[in-house]
């Protein structure tokens, strides 16, 4: 066996680096498709977030509307009750004023005038 044999390794040809470069890089169409996909995904996420936020706001507004409607109903019932009580009180005052008016008239008629006694 020879002591120091030179090994011959074939050097790169001009064709090999092009193949390596093509296998490691993406075509313009692949890059474009990847960017479109990424933008599309980001837009979908953003739209989902916006939709979720809008839906939550609508639910809050619906709850507020329900609360306000219940409050209106309560106030309407209270107003009706107060109006009924007001009518009842006016009637009561009128009825109670009748005997007093009669009694006052009676006293006026029975009281002698100051100069006639």
Decide if 85 is inside a domain: yes
Decide if 38 is inside a domain: yes
The boundaries of the domain holding residue 85 are 33-110
Decide if 72 is inside a domain: yes
Report the domain count for the chain.
1
Q: What is the pLDDT along the chain (117 residues), one digit of tens a residue?
A: 445 555 555 555 554 444 445 556 778 899 999 999 999 999 999 999 999 999 999 999 999 999 999 999 999 999 999 999 999 999 888 888 777 767 777 777 776 666 555
Predicted confidence at residue 102, as pLDDT, reads: 72
What backbone torsions phi and psi does residue 13 show, to the nearest 5 degrees?
Answer: -95, 170
Decide if 62 is inside a domain: yes
Decide if 6 is inside a domain: no
Predicted confidence at residue 98, as pLDDT, reads: 77
pTM for the complete prediction? 0.49
Predicted confidence at residue 69, as pLDDT, reads: 98
Predicted confidence at residue 53, as pLDDT, reads: 97
* C-alpha to C-alpha distances, 61 to 49, 55, 56, 57, 108, nearest whole angstrom: 18, 10, 9, 6, 68
């Amino acid at each position: 066996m020879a002591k120091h044999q030179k090994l011959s390794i074939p050097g790169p040809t001009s064709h090999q680096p092009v193949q390596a470069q093509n296998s490691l890089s993406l075509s313009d169409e692949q890059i474009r498709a990847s960017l479109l996909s990424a933008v599309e995904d980001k837009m979908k996420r953003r739209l989902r977030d916006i939709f979720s936020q809008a839906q939550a706001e609508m639910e809050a507004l619906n709850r507020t509307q329900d609360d306000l409607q219940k409050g209106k109903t309560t106030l309407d019932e209270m107003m009706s009750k107060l109006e009924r009580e007001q009518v009842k009180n006016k009637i009561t005052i009128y009825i109670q004023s009748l005997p007093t008016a009669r009694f006052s008239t009676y006293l006026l008629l029975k009281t002698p005038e100051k100069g006639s006694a």
